[in-house]
């Protein structure tokens, strides 16, 4: 009888935990999805790509410092704007749960939410433009080529430096050396963004 009671309690506890775990997993998947679209994450990847290939691009210490500062300044502003969006979402949900929805108030919050998102997008564009201004014409051409070549293959991680044959990619062959620079590659990837180069010729 005692064993049956313990088993019943264990099953009940598991049943209660399952929805919570499923919800937690859902939030994790949602976070990962947002991470891919997040302008902050994309900006970090673009800055990381320049830093990883600083020798190939022949970046000076001054240029590296300027890129770091542009990235840091933009990310701080974007984080604060992202917080404003999150707060607006909370207010918006509260209004939507009202007994009688105030459409004027809701519409105002919707406008505020998307106006702030537009500001985030503009900060992102301004940061990329700042990166471009920091590089000279030859460096921009090299950075552009790196990004475009990385985009040649949908599954390309960028480590193969844009080789059309991704079977020779160091991430697939086990090599940890960049074929372009000859430098060591970390396991996390090169920081390429496949959805756009952000660099002009």
Show Cβ contacts of residue 132 under 8 Å, excluding neighbours closer than 6 positions.
140, 198, 199, 200
Sign of CA dihedral 158, 161, 164, 165: negative
Residue ranges of E strands in 88-154: none
pLDDT score of 149:
77
The token pair at 155 is: 């599954």
**Entry pTM:** 0.61
Domain boundaries along the sequence of the chain: 1-37, 39-153+161-166
Q: What is the pLDDT along the chain (201 residues), one digit of tens a residue?
A: 555 545 554 545 544 444 444 444 554 454 445 545 689 999 999 999 899 999 999 999 999 999 999 999 999 999 999 999 999 999 999 999 999 999 999 999 999 999 999 999 999 999 999 999 999 999 999 999 888 876 764 445 545 544 444 545 555 555 555 555 555 655 444 443 444 555 555
């Amino acid at each position: 009888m005692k064993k049956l009671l313990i088993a019943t309690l264990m099953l009940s506890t598991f049943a209660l935990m399952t929805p919570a775990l499923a919800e937690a997993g859902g939030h994790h998947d949602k976070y990962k999805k947002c991470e891919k679209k997040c302008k902050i994450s994309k900006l970090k990847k673009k800055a990381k790509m320049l830093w990883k290939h600083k020798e190939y691009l022949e970046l000076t210490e001054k240029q590296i410092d300027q890129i770091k500062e542009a990235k840091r300044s933009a990310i701080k502003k974007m984080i604060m704007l992202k917080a404003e969006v999150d707060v607006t979402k909370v207010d918006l949900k509260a209004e939507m749960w009202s007994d009688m929805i105030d459409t004027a108030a809701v519409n105002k919050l919707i406008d505020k939410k998307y106006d702030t998102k537009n500001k985030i997008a503009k900060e992102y564009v301004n940061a990329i433009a700042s990166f471009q201004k920091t590089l000279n014409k030859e460096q921009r051409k090299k950075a552009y080529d790196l990004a475009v070549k990385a985009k040649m293959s949908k599954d390309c991680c960028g480590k193969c430096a844009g080789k059309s044959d991704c079977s020779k990619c160091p991430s697939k062959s086990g090599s940890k050396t960049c074929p372009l620079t000859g430098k060591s590659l970390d396991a996390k990837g090169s920081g390429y963004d496949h959805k756009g180069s952000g660099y002009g010729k």
